[in-house]
Structure 1
Amino acid sequence: MLAEHFELIETIGTDFAIAVLFILIGLAIRDVLKKANVPKFGQWFVWLVLFLGCAGFIAKGIIQAIWEAGL
């Protein structure tokens, strides 16, 4: 059974690892922004860029799933 679903397990594991990485990056950025007393506009811009990176990763996953399904 494991050999039959190895690719699916690998894909889920990779997606989970990247999600954890994004969370850790977010926590590190929050810490740096707090300690550096960055103005609100700068903080907003940093979080916007981080969100767009995450959104790009999610869009890539959706596009890849659609492409592989042949729709």
Structure 2
Amino acid sequence: MLAEYYEQIEVLATNFTLGILFLLIGLAIRDVLKRSAVPKFGQVIVWMVLFLGCFGFIAKGIIQVLWESGV
């Protein structure tokens, strides 16, 4: 049973691991921004870049699913 779902399990584990990685990166950035004297404009830019990176990852996943399903 495990062999027939191996690819799906692998994809889910990869996506979950990357999600955790993005979370840890966000926590590290928040910590650095709190400890240093970064102006508000700089903080907005940093969070925007992080959000766009996460959004690109999510968009890639959605596009991949749509492409493979033939929609």
Normalised by the size of structure 2, how large is the TM-score? 0.97
SS at match of 2:3: coil
Structure 1 residue 37 displacement after superposition: 1.4
SS at match of 2:31: helix
Q: How does 1:1-71 map to 2 (within 5 A)?
A: 1-71=1-71
Q: Which sections of structure 1, spanning at least 5 residues, go unmatched?
A: none
Q: Percent identity?
A: 68
CA distance in 1, matches of 2:57, 2:19: 10
Deviant stretches of 4+, over 4 Å: none
CA distance in 2, matches of 1:15, 1:8: 11
Residue by residue over 1:14-70, the C-alpha shift from the partner in whole angstroms, topping out at 9 and shown as x without a partner, is: 000000000000011011111111011110110000000000000000000000011
Q: Which sections of structure 2, spanning at least 5 residues, go unmatched?
A: none
* Counterpart AA for 1:38: V
Normalised by the size of structure 1, how large is the TM-score? 0.97
The CA RMSD over aligned residues, in Å, is: 0.5
